[in-house]
């Protein structure tokens, strides 16, 4: 119930929905009741039970109106009697049929209007949930995504949202609409024969109990189906992302086997769930027919037994049975909805579980704004671990304003991790990082990240125009500024040659561009942002000489007049750095200028340098 109430929150505000929906539904229900009730006078006209003798000695007028079936019946029969007397039974039949059609038209107009409202609510709910999911994804820290499969999140935001949406809106509409139908129809049934109606009411809990038992059984399987289907999305996502490798390694069969295995699991779970779900329908069907049969027997006895205290006319009894079948529909709808809700709740729990994840990195109060970078970035005895894996062990370093510090060292030593700590992609586990003497945790994340630009080893581009990729995150960027940034990053020329220039849409993750072009766009993006601090994970090693020179030039332009932390893989690029820090196994093993480090004959830097000059 708690889950349900929290999910309902996404459908809010409900104020504008409930009242009009209630009114429209009540009107629709009253008109359909009128529609079905016409059967009784119809039968009575055919059997000759209505004629001029049904006009009482003191005819009823509308002043005598009261909301009871007996008034409506007597008044109606009196009027039909009049028509038969004056114009014959055929005209009365015609009048009756016209009333039936009109009632049906009105019932359907109101029902349609109510449905439109319900659909709008559905659309709104789904949009709200999607937005909340997306907001949550954006708010989470990078570390979260290391442990979570992407497909799982994608699946939650599609399959689970649909299940939740169906269950919430269906429950809201069913639980508003069907009780009204039940009240209206039961009111009619009750005033036609209290005895018979009390009898049916006593039977309802029996079928209700059976149906809710099945609904409970449904819930467990739904959870299995949802989680397997998200695993399928994950595999598909990984397959598309890794298509080159799959093909190059002839691994189609291998990945297909994995997919098939999950798919079979899905099929089995799905079938199990569907079998149970489908059981609900025949179960309630048989229940309904049994109901009617019991009712036929009991009601038939009342019709046949002339001496009964509450005798029933045959036409009334037939009318009663028809109305009663209409009561079964809402009852069935309610029981179906219980099944849908159970499924929705299983999906809803998964969604809420995701929405409850607190980002590990967030602003702490009171906040300081880092408006301008004035002095230095300092690492003081910084330790860091990914879970239990201790990666940094007591790093001390300082980058003065305007200087360039380069990190070099063997792969896996912790260089990228050091870089990730400055924009707080991760938080230190021990020690502190200061900017202008203040712990970076005291600054707002927004202002901290505003003063720095990050160029990563892998150029991350979005499926959008080149213009928007360069001006990423900025509203109303001017064409001149974007072009200027592209020129500095040596990207202007190739952009101009692309089919639509700056408006060319690059494929997903920039697949339509070469590696060097992608990197120059990433650099242009950093130039455009124009941050005082630059964090650069160099990736020139993957490029050919021509392209590398263009990228290297771009980087040199980018670093001009900035404070930079550069992770260098090609040592030739950082020889002019103010300080070179050699990182190995999570610690600083050497530091100094290029010339100073080259003096240590058996130093790590010298060895790395020698290795690279051989290759």
Ligand X SMILES: Nc1ncnc2c1ncn2[C@@H]1O[C@H](COP(=O)(O)OP(=O)(O)OP(=O)(O)O)[C@@H](O)[C@H]1O
Residues that bind ligand X (CB under 6 A): 146, 386, 389, 391, 411-417
Nearer CB in complex with ligand X: 122/415: 415
Nearer CB in complex with ligand X: 410/532: 410
Nearer CB in complex with ligand X: 338/580: 580
Task: In whole angstroms, give the CA distance from residue 390 to residue 385.
Answer: 4
Task: In whole angstroms, give the CA distance from residue 442 to residue 369.
Answer: 8
Task: In whole angstroms, give the CA distance from residue 330 to residue 33.
Answer: 13
DSSP 489-528: TT-HHHHHHSTTGGGPBP-GGGTTS-HHHHHHHHHHHHHH
| Minimum distance of ligand X from residue 564's CB (angstroms) | 16
Task: In whole angstroms, give the CA distance from residue 178 to residue 26.
Answer: 10
Q: H helices of 422-506, where?
A: 445-450, 466-470, 479-488, 492-497
Nearer CB in complex with ligand X: 194/241: 241
| Minimum distance of ligand X from residue 547's CB (angstroms) | 20
User: Can you list the positions of beta strands (E) in 559-615?
Assistant: 563-567, 579-584, 587-592
Task: In whole angstroms, give the CA distance from residue 550 to residue 556.
Answer: 10
Residue 366 preceded by cis peptide, ω within 30 = yes
| Minimum distance of ligand X from residue 146's CB (angstroms) | 4
| Minimum distance of ligand X from residue 423's CB (angstroms) | 14
Nearer CB in complex with ligand X: 389/476: 389
| Minimum distance of ligand X from residue 615's CB (angstroms) | 16
| Minimum distance of ligand X from residue 131's CB (angstroms) | 28
Nearest CA-CA partner of 282 in 341, 345, 205, 214: 214
| Minimum distance of ligand X from residue 502's CB (angstroms) | 32
| Minimum distance of ligand X from residue 431's CB (angstroms) | 16
Task: In whole angstroms, give the CA distance from residue 421 to residue 405.
Answer: 15
Check: CB of residue 417 under 8 Å from CB of residue 433.
no
Nearer CB in complex with ligand X: 78/148: 148
Nearer CB in complex with ligand X: 125/417: 417
DSSP 182-208: HHHHHHHHHHH-HHHHHHHHHHHHHHH
Nearer CB in complex with ligand X: 390/594: 390
Kindly state the helix (H) or strand (E) to which residue 455 belongs, with its residue range: strand 452-455
Nearest CA-CA partner of 240 in 44, 509, 502, 444: 509
With tokens 């059976």, the residue in question is: 210
Q: Measure CA 560 to chain center.
A: 44
Number of CB atoms found within 10 A of residue 371's CB: 10
Nearer CB in complex with ligand X: 417/519: 417
With tokens 């009114």, the residue in question is: 23
Nearer CB in complex with ligand X: 215/568: 568
Kindly state the helix (H) or strand (E) to which residue 156 belongs, with its residue range: none
At 498, phi and psi to the nearest 5?
-70, 160
Look at residue 372 and give its three-state secondary structure: coil
| Minimum distance of ligand X from residue 334's CB (angstroms) | 49
Nearer CB in complex with ligand X: 419/558: 419
| Minimum distance of ligand X from residue 373's CB (angstroms) | 24
With tokens 């799905």, the residue in question is: 270
User: Can you list the positions of beta strands (E) in 325-386?
Assistant: 376-386
| Minimum distance of ligand X from residue 408's CB (angstroms) | 9
Structural tokens at position 349: 């729990």
Number of CB atoms found within 10 A of residue 432's CB: 14
| Minimum distance of ligand X from residue 129's CB (angstroms) | 29
Nearer CB in complex with ligand X: 488/568: 568
């Amino acid at each position: 119930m708690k889950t349900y109430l929290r999910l309902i929150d996404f459908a809010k505000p409900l104020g504008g929905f409930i009242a009009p929906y209630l009114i429209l539904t009540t009107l629709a229900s009253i008109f359909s009741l009128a529609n079905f009730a016409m059967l009784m006078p119809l039968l009575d006209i055919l059997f000759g039970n209505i004629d001029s003798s049904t006009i009482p000695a003191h005819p009823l007028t509308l002043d005598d109106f009261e909301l009871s079936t007996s008034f409506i019946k007597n008044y109606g029969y009196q009027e039909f009697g009049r028509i038969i007397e004056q114009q014959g039974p055929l005209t009365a039949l015609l009048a009756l049929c016209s009333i039936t059609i009109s009632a049906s038209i009105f019932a359907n107009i109101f029902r349609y209007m109510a449905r439109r409202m319900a659909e709008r609510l559905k659309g709104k709910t789904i949009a709200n949930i999607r937005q909340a999911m997306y907001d949550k994804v954006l708010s989470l820290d990078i570390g979260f995504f290391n442990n979570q499969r992407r497909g799982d999140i994608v699946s939650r935001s599609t399959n689970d949202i649909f299940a939740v949406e169906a269950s919430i809106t269906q429950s809201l509409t069913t639980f508003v609409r069907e009780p009204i139908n039940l009240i209206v129809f039961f009111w009619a049934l009750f005033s036609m024969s209290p005895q018979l109606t009390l009898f049916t009411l006593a039977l309802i809990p029996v079928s209700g109990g059976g149906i809710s038992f099945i609904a409970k059984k449904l819930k467990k399987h739904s959870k299995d189906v949802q989680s397997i289907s998200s695993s399928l999305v994950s595999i598909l996502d990984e397959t598309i992302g890794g298509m080159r490798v799959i093909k190059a390694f002839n691994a189609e069969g291998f990945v297909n086997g994995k997919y098939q295995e999950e798919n079979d699991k899905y099929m089995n779970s799905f079938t199990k769930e569907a079998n149970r779900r489908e059981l609900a329908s025949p179960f309630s069907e048989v229940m309904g027919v049994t109901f009617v049969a019991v009712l036929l027997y009991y009601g038939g006895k009342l019709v046949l037994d002339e001496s009964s205290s509450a005798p029933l006319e045959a036409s009334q009894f037939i009318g009663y049975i028809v109305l009663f079948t209409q009561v079964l529909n809402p009852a069935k709808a309610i029981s179906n909805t219980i099944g849908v809700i159970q499924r929705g709740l299983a999906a809803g729990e998964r969604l809420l579980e995701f929405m409850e994840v607190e980002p590990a990195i967030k602003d702490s109060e009171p906040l300081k704004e880092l408006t301008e970078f004035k002095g230095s970035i300092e690492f003081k005895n910084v330790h860091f671990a990914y879970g239990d894996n201790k990666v940094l062990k007591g790093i001390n370093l300082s980058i003065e304003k305007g200087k360039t510090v380069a990190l070099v060292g063997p792969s896996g030593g912790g260089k990228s991790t050091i870089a990730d700590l400055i924009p707080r992609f991760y938080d230190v586990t021990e020690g502190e990082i200061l900017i202008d003497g203040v712990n970076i945790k005291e600054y707002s994340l927004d202002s901290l990240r505003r003063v720095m630009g990050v160029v990563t080893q892998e150029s991350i581009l979005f499926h959008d125009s080149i213009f928007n990729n360069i001006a990423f995150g900025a509203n109303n960027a001017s064409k001149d500024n974007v072009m200027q940034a592209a020129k500095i990053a040596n990207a202007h020329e190739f952009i101009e040659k692309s089919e639509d220039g700056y408006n060319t849409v690059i494929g997903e993750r920039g697949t339509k561009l070469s590696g060097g072009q992608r990197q120059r766009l990433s650099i242009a993006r950093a130039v455009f942002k124009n941050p005082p601090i630059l964090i650069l994970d160099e990736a020139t090693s993957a490029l050919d000489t021509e392209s590398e020179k263009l990228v290297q030039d771009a980087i040199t332009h980018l670093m001009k007049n900035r404070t930079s932390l550069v992770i260098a893989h090609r040592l030739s690029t950082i020889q002019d750095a103010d300080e070179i820090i050699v990182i190995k196994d999570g610690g600083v093993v050497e530091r100094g200028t290029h010339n100073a480090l080259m003096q240590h004959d058996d130093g790590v830097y010298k060895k790395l340098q020698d290795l690279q000059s051989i290759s």
